[in-house]
A and B are shown apart, each in its own frame.
Chain A
Amino acid sequence: MNKKLFLFDWLTFLVYIVLSLFGILNIYSSTFSESEVFFNYSSPAFRQFLFMIISIFIGVLIINFNTNFFQQFSSLIYIFSIILLLGLFIFGETIRASTSWYNFFGINFQPTDFAKLATSLAVAKLMSEIEINIKKNKDLLKLVILISLPSILIILQNDLGSSIVFASFFFVFFREGLSYNYFIAILLILSLSLMALVLPTTLLFLIILFVILFLYSLSKKNNKKTKILPYIFTLFACIIYILSVNYVFNNVFEQRHRDRINIFLGKEYDSKGIGYNLNQSIIAIGSGGFNGKGFLKGTQTKGDFVPEQHTDYIFSTIGEEWGFWGCFGLIFLYTILILRIIFRSENHKNKFCRIFSYSISSILTIHFMINIGMSLGLFPTIGIPLPLISYGGSSFIAFSCMIFIYLNLDLNRLN
């Protein structure tokens, strides 16, 4: 037991505790009103505090589990989470346009975050099987299906933001040997999509035509045998893709998605309507200055200028009240947490453990990047929480479970 105490990843645990408490402090400030006391079940800060206690309780259980449990039961957990997602179509509650909540006796429960956990387990399990090789297209397809299933279900529940998080498994695949071609293809697709949205279609066509002709002539110079056909094929593929991006954007996306993307791209400026949240969030953060306005002293926070400030926009409270050093401290701690998990996962001899831990750090990275990026105006508005900081029981408990499972695997690495 003493040896276990010595092996335990205290640093990660400490960072987890500090982030959680800091989160509660800021939830308290974001929802503060003179008339309300902390020890009140309807107070979000107090509820988050209870979630933390529940999480630590669950965490102690998880740490004492046999490590093999997770690998053995991962398929079952995955199937269970898929059933939960499917069940939403029948029993789901709609909150803020997304039908992604269960309501048990007044307690709202969101299975999305548990789906991330379950998918991580399933991916780790599948990839750790000996006959699976990610370089084989057939195996890759299996993995993609594994990821797509929950993410498509989540999209169908109108929660596009949460489904984007499943893209974090790309980091895992890449780490485990995904071909560079995919990497390049994804970069190409991303930049093409972006250009398709920003530039006029005809101009983009001309640019692509010019680039492909240039590449062709360059290649022709070096190698007389270069065929023109693949280039023509690429050209048409690009054109079709661009047209389809525009089609999806205009016909598949809803207005709110279009607005968010347009504002992020700078195509629309609207400080009162859709862009209001973002604008107020930036004002709040910017007005914090170096030292911040002090705990409970943020005027933007007190005046409720930033909607969803205790959930998705919690970073603006931190920015306003704790200033630059507070934000920097948070970013620093987060980076430490993610890097710590990455480094420790690399040390695992067991493939399952390694891939699972790596998945956790990837998911945390994506959440961290999108949430803070959104608050700072660097990312389009995508409503996902800042893990451990934002208010929300399901999210907090799900991320706590991820971290405690990581801690369990890490603790038992020698078994």
Chain B
Amino acid sequence: MRKKFLIFFIITISLIFTIRLFSLQILNPDFEKLSQNNAVLAISEYPERGLIFDRNKKLIVGNEPTFDLLMVPENVYAFDTILLTKILKVEKKIIVENINKANKFSKRLPSVIISEIPKNQYAIFQEHMWKFNGFFIQKRSNRNYKIPIASNILGYISEVNSNDLKNDSYYKTGELIGRQGIEKTYEKLLRGTKGKKFLQKDRFNRIIGPYNNGVFDIKKQRAENLILTIDSDLQLYGEKLMKNKRGGIVAIEPKTGEILALITSPSYNPNLLVGKKRSINYKMLLTDSISKPLFDRGLQALYPPGSPFKLVNGLIGLQEKVITKNTQFKCNKGHFYAKGSFMECLCGNNLRKKLHNAIYKSCNTYFAKTFTRIISDSGKTKENLNNWKKHVESFGFGNYLGYDLPIGKKGFIPDSDYYDKIYDYQNWNSTTIISNSIGQGEILTTPIQLANLAAIISNRGYYYKPHFLKSERLVNSQYTEKIVTSIDSLNYEIIIDGMRDVVEKGTAKIAKINNIEICGKTGTAENFTLIDNIKTQLTDHSIFIAFAPKDDPKIALAVFVENGYWGSRWAAPIGSLAIEKYLNKDVNRKWLEAKIMNGSLENEYMKVVSGRKFKINE
């Protein structure tokens, strides 16, 4: 017994140790994680966000470094708060508050104390860095808009929210994501792919080198720089022209579908949505319910297209052979389209008109009668209306155009079901829906759809889906697919001749430029709003679509000026100036330019909100 005591003792101890080891090393998997948390630090490495250039390789959006001050509470010793407030120009209260928050969040993990310290303050702080134990600086990159334009196209970036985190596991709290515009559509190209670096820490939380020689590291992948189809000069010019007016300009290169400019007014300076003041500014923009700067009128606003839509009806009439280019209709300052229903026409006193004259004089009567023939042909009203709709839709109306921005509206093209519903299956015929002939009535379009119409006409019958990205990526994509309308190309020539004379001697003489052959069509669209729940008519929208040059079209555009009254008053000069700027790079008609740029419609817009009675179409 005595001899065996030590033997039993040592065997027992060894067994206890083995059991303990077994439970620590094999049964308990938590230690693996604990030691990882202890000793391994995973850092995300972000590639610099892609730059954005315009079609002439001019830099629109760049990056600018900013600096965040971070703190690890457990490493902080007493420090000079006053010095910190002096260098960084922050109130003491804010620093104390953020430090308390950081303490609550975690003692061991870094928290941001002051974000987005400008370069010059950072430089001073760096010299005093050694006095602030436990603090460190993290570089970040902000967007920097070299030319403050096109905020509606570009969108902006901001920190991910809980929704983004739920939807895409790629993102982690505090990272940036593209919101709206190009930043959102091409988020994956612009952000690249973040990498991961694993570092070995020691017990003082100091980094002592790569973990395991970096074999687990994931390399970051370069972000892509984007070239847009936008011409920044034209965009800037257009934004100047639209100042103090509401509406939009959409300009497209017809041969490619590339969008040259997309202007919405009022807009905002994209630099407002960068950095510290982003959320305050965003709130301000979002709650401006009067001028709605975040609302892209070029893509989202639904307007009755007005007279430019006559061109579509003319084309359908020719295609359906209910008229020819020689068909004549009588107009006597209007006509009775039904018993007691008179449609006014301001095209002058010509008694009989051919299609050509009807276009450049913008004769309501001619297109009303053409529309009647289209719809009433052979007495099959419903079939004809649906057939008409099919033609209209082949122009891209009534649906999203498929461009590469995340917002838009379909617009509206009525069909027989629609009228069956509102007129209860009876009592409707071509005369009931006659307003559609002149682009009023139920039709609703967006400016980009009208710009696309101009492009289609200039191409004599086809278009490419409008888009913003100029890249080889788009080869063989939906954007290089030619979309042909249901109208024969020969029919377009008749319309185009008419459009040329709109500018030469018709309603848009003001748009004439000496050495450029412009084809255009003005529009003056009636519109209504609800004021205190009463449908109230407002001053007409001023509309103009055009393309130029006639035989080798390089630009097609649509201009909408809300409540601008005559198409020739605002929209036509704006369109004309934009074309001149784009094609000639310089504008000769300084007087017109000055008149438009200085012109304001603010008084017109104030009428609606003034609460008083007002006159329209002054």
Contacts and interface: CB of A to CB of B under 8 A. Distances in A.
Interface stretch (B17-25, B253-261, B394-402, B567-575): B17-25
A373 B14 CA distance: 10
Contacts of B208: 302-303
Contacts of B30: 286
Interface stretch (A124-132, A220-228, A253-261, A338-346): A338-346
B35 interface: yes
B25 A339 contact: no
Contacts of A331: 14, 17-18, 21
Interface string B185-214: 000000000000000111100001101100
Nearest to A305: B203
B126 interface: no
The 8 residue pairs across chains A and B that have the minimum distance between CB atoms: A286-B31, A287-B35, A299-B39, A303-B39, A303-B202, A287-B31, A286-B24, A324-B25
B20 A378 contact: yes
A338 B11 CA distance: 10
Given A283-B34, A286-B25, A299-B40, A376 B17 contact: yes
Contact of A346 (B3, B31, B202): B3
A289 to B, nearest CB: 6
B124 interface: no
B10 interface: yes
A34 interface: yes
B467 to A, nearest CB: 51
Best-surrounded residue of B3, B9, B38 (most CB of chain A within 10 A): B38
Interface of B: 2-3, 5-7, 9-11, 13-14, 16-18, 20-22, 24-26, 28, 30-32, 34-36, 38-40, 200-203, 208-209, 211-212
A319 interface: yes
Contacts of A286: 24-25, 28, 30-32, 34-35
Contact of B200 (A302, A332, A361, A373): A302
Contacts of A285: 21, 24-25, 31
A281 to B, nearest CB: 10
A365 B31 contact: no
Contact of A299 (B2, B3, B28, B35): B35
A70 interface: no
A297 B39 CA distance: 12
A282 interface: yes
Best-surrounded residue of A290, A305, A368 (most CB of chain B within 10 A): A305
A335 B11 CA distance: 7
A236 interface: no
Interface stretch (A73-81, A169-177, A203-211, A397-405): A169-177
Contacts of A362: 6
Contacts of A300: 35, 38-39
Interface in A268-317: 280, 282-290, 297, 299-300, 302-305, 307
Given A299-B40, A305-B202, A287 B34 contact: yes
Contacts of B31: 282-283, 285-287
Contacts of A58: none
Contacts of B34: 283, 286-287
Contacts of B6: 171, 175, 342, 358, 361-362, 365
A123 to B, nearest CB: 15
Contacts of B26: 289-290, 324
A147 interface: no
Contact of A283 (B9, B22, B38, B201): B38
Interface string A146-181: 000000000000000000000000010011110000
Given A289-B26, A302-B208, A171 B3 contact: no
23 contacts: A171-B6, A175-B6, A282-B31, A283-B34, A287-B32, A287-B35, A297-B212, A299-B38, A300-B39, A303-B201, A305-B203, A319-B21, A323-B25, A324-B25, A327-B17, A331-B18, A335-B10, A342-B6, A361-B10, A365-B6, A365-B9, A368-B10, A373-B13
A174 B2 contact: yes
Interface string A22-53: 00000000000010000000000000000000
Given A283-B34, A302-B39, A324 B22 contact: yes
Contact of B21 (A297, A335, A369, A376): A376
A328 interface: yes
A372 interface: yes
Contact of A282 (B14, B17, B24, B209): B24
A346 B3 CA distance: 8
Nearest to A168: B6
Nearest to B203: A305
Contact of B5 (A171, A282, A303): A171
Given A303-B208, A358-B6, 15 more contacts: A34-B209, A175-B2, A286-B24, A286-B30, A290-B25, A297-B212, A303-B200, A303-B202, A324-B22, A331-B14, A362-B6, A376-B21, A376-B24, A378-B16, A378-B17
